[in-house]
Amino acid sequence: MLRVTLRNLLARKLRLLLSAFAIVLGVAFLSGSLIFTDTMGKSFDNIVNGSVSDATVRLTGLGQDEVGFDDAINIDSRSIPASLVPTLADAPGVARADGSVDGQGLFVVKKNGKLLGGTGAPTLSFNFSDAPNANGDRSVRIAEGRAPRGGGEVAIDEKSAKSAGYAIGDTVHMVTAGSQPQVQATLVGYAEFTGGGLAGASLVFFDTPTAQRLFLDGKDAYTTIGLTGESGVSQQELVDAVKPLLPGDAEAVTGKKVADEFKSLVNTALGFLNTFLLIFAAIALVVGTFLIINTFSILVAQRSRELALLRALGASRPQVTRSVLVEAATVGLIGSTLGLGVGFGLAAALRALFANFGLDLTGSPLVFEASTAVISYVVGVLVTMFAAYLPARRAARIAPVAAMRDDVALPEGSIRRRLVVGVVLAIVGVTLLTTGLIGEGSSGASQVGAGIFAILIAIALMSPVLAVPVLVVMGGAYRRLFGTVGQLATQNSLRNPRRTAATASALMIGLALVTTMSVLGASINKSIDVGVKKEFTSDYLVSNAIGQPFSPKIAEDIKAVDGVRTVAPTQSASVKVDGDRTNISAGDSRALGEIFDIDYVKGGPALQDGQIAFNEDKADSLGVKVGDTVQLGFAAGKVPLKVVGIYKSTYVVANAITPFSTITAGQVQRADSTIAVNADDGVDQAALGKRLEAATKAFPTVTVQNQDDFSKAQRAQVDQLLYLIYALLGLAIIIAVLGIVNTLALSVIERTREVGLLRAVGLSRGQLRRMVRLEAIAIAVLGALLGIVAGLLFGIVLQRAVADQGITDLAIPWLRLVVFVVIAGLVGVLAAVLPARRAAKLNVLRAITTE
């Protein structure tokens, strides 16, 4: 049986390779995602391991348990006095202590006036030091030139410097979020971490007094102190030795703990990215499963007589089943091997793609872990064998006596049974979808995903029944437009509705997800337009496109612009209230009230120090009311505030409004997030916009937008994400197209005698090609219609489910959906090219005599 199985594989190389290609693409996406994220993780690990000291003294509240990604908008204004450095250096077991100034909010401005980076990896600013890392090497080295020595000098990593257009000796322009918003310094050297690449980040070094002036308002202090232990002293012993010497707001931690905390944060971010990519890999594999099921079903049907002969010669049912599964395992093995190779290319493509978004790993070699190969082979082989199991079981049911008949019919399962299972699965899917939408967090999202998957599989199971009316309607159009050829194409499509529906189901899944995202994207864009028109009541908004804080000096410059009446800057901050993390807006409530229509349903605005107002949703979730006292948790500690008002939820401010004094009390540096501007009566709006742009021209970190500009910018972000999802889902569409090609090619082989007879009675080659094309179009349009209907359902349900999160208005992109159907028809035409050509080339006499 093994020899027979291998002979069959070699005899059907092309057909099985088409099936293997589905596994190739799915495994490529899977392995490429794993290779890319492993590369990112290794790159960050090298940076951390090469920069941490044996132990670090830092301010309390900055550990992994206290902060997260949201806290990046909070610039801690606390510091550690420089006088502590010599004290720690004299502690037992300490070889040396080095103070470090870690700056936030600085950006390098390119020579062309645009911002360097801004998205992706950040700009890392420090005072230059020759402090060693935990490995005993210098954490930072000068690759070319020298270290900065005075207030007018700076060292930058070579890649960033060249990207910005600077060379050693040039004057570098920078902007900060501090009290000195503009900085100019001469580039005197190229610096780099000894631990490895920067993953797209920019490195900027000043001498210590300059760094203290820029980031600590000139205080003789540091943000952290790195400790190097004497030989034989462990990191924990070093920490224990200095603990008694530290002030109350400082703590000592081992270098390992610092590295582990950073790696944990990076792994969390990589986890989101990895999950995002693996979801699309799973979609590709699910679509590929349909292709494999269909391919093996057709192959088993074509080999019915051969399998019956094997049964007559003594082969048992398990042997027949195993022979088909061995073929599937071989296909899976070949597809997984090729997929791993293609996965390397995909990982390289992802690396190049993310480099455009600021996460540059081009200097890091791709990392291939053994686990990637194991996962890829296991998934590839198991998916293929799972897909081939039902056809293999069906093959074993062929009776030996069937070998004596000219026409062997393969046993088929009951359509009624499929329909019943499909209905049950649809009910389960709707239940999961409903409970998931009601639920919260990752469990709710998982239930929604499982519900959508169950409904899609239910539609696929019921598709032989659903397909018939669609094909009949299309058949009527075919007969009117193409006559006999159209009638033949319709009959061929209806002859085996299972096969037609199974092929269409692969395309259906891809288009269902594309349609879902299209509906959500259109609804988000419409909600943005409606929300902006309703709530964007300022004439202009000055903001940072990537959400980074900027210097309050910009607001002062804008107040001096001719024609400006009201200026209302706000600062966003991330805080904890009763353990619940939330964003707040700090600002002048009186000025905000003059510009924005903030509707207070209870109490009034927080006008005085020690006051706060919440929106209705956040007040309800926290269970607070006017008159209560809440504790706002910052890294430096808690700040008590009295609740004086509750306002209707709005997009123009965050979940709470409080004076700027709250930010100061929380020891967070003052830095604006947005500036709302209203013009004097009678002022020309366009002219004022130009004056505001001129006033902020030196600060490429901010943009000046009116209502239309703001809407366009928000929609552009949504569209960019939508196009990325389209591109990733395109892989599933490609696999579905291969499924149509494979089905038609195998169908032509299966109908060789019939094709010969049609040619013998006068059907021309052109008519034969047209017939095959029309079959392909019918399959593609059927898949498109089923997918669009399912996608509309999912999109509408999801939009209603997130209506309370801002997506308030449903929008259905009808034109785009029509385009999807048209594209599906064109896909059918392209998929039919090779099968139609093969059918037209068949020798008529040989085809007629084929058994």
- What does the pLDDT read at residue 640? 94
* Residues 419-434: tens digit of each pLDDT: 888 889 989 988 888 8
Q: Which residue has the tokens 């993390």?
A: 581
- What does the pLDDT read at residue 323? 82
Task: Decide if pLDDT at 444 tops 70.
Answer: no
* Band (554; pLDDT cuts 50, 70, 90): very high
From the CB of residue 172, how many other CB atoms can be counted at a distance below 10 Å? Answer: 24
Quote the CA–CA distance of 218 and 178 in Å, as a whole number.
11
* Residues 53-106: tens digit of each pLDDT: 899 999 988 765 555 545 567 888 899 999 999 999 999 999 999 999 998 889
Quote the CA–CA distance of 419 and 464 in Å, as a whole number.
9
- What does the pLDDT read at residue 116? 84
Q: Which residue would you say has higher pLDDT here, 849 or 497? A: 497
| Pairing mode of beta strands 540-543, 674-679 | antiparallel
When pLDDT is averaged across residues 149-163 and rounded to a whole number, the result is 91
Task: Decide if pLDDT at 270 tops 90.
Answer: no
When pLDDT is averaged across residues 707-731 and rounded to a whole number, the result is 84
* Residues 626-636: tens digit of each pLDDT: 999 999 999 88
Average pLDDT of the residues of the chain? 84
Quote the CA–CA distance of 568 and 508 in Å, as a whole number.
51
Task: Decide if pLDDT at 710 tops 70.
Answer: yes
Task: Decide if pLDDT at 676 tops 80.
Answer: yes
Burial of 138 (0-12, 13-18, 19+ CB in 10 A): middle
Burial of 794 (0-12, 13-18, 19+ CB in 10 A): buried
Quote the CA–CA distance of 565 and 353 in Å, as a whole number.
44
DSSP state of 366: P
Task: Decide if pLDDT at 2 tops 80.
Answer: no
* Nearest CA-CA partner of 677 in 713, 650, 704: 704
When pLDDT is averaged across residues 676-694 and rounded to a whole number, the result is 91
Q: 14 phi and psi, to 5 degrees?
A: -65, -45
Question: CA-CA distances (angstroms) from residue 65 to 102, 709, 715, 781?
Answer: 20, 39, 35, 53
Amino acid at residue number 659: P
Inter-residue contact 113 to 700 (CB < 8 Å): yes
Q: Which residue would you say has higher pLDDT here, 299 or 493? A: 493
What would the DSSP string read from start to end of 422-439?
Answer: HHHHHHHHHHHHHHHHHS
Task: Decide if pLDDT at 775 tops 90.
Answer: no
Q: Which residue has the tokens 């944060």?
A: 265
Task: Decide if pLDDT at 732 tops 60.
Answer: yes
DSSP state of 610: T
Angle at CA 469, nearest 5°, toward 465 and 473? 155
Q: 556 phi and psi, to 5 degrees?
A: -65, -40
Task: Decide if pLDDT at 542 tops 50.
Answer: yes
Task: Decide if pLDDT at 408 tops 50.
Answer: no
Q: Which residue would you say has higher pLDDT here, 464 or 186? A: 186
- What does the pLDDT read at residue 613? 94
* Band (409; pLDDT cuts 50, 70, 90): very low
Task: Decide if pLDDT at 149 tops 80.
Answer: yes
Q: Which residue would you say has higher pLDDT here, 741 or 96? A: 96
What would the DSSP string read from start to end of 464-497?
Answer: HHHHHHHHHHHHHHHHHHHTHHHHHHHHHHHH-H
Question: CA-CA distances (angstroms) from residue 210 to 59, 148, 622?
Answer: 21, 10, 44
At residue 635, the 3 state secondary structure works out as coil
Task: Decide if pLDDT at 292 tops 90.
Answer: no
* Residues 353-376: tens digit of each pLDDT: 777 766 677 777 888 889 999 999
Mean pLDDT lowest for which of 62-66, 113-117, 312-316, 738-742? Answer: 62-66
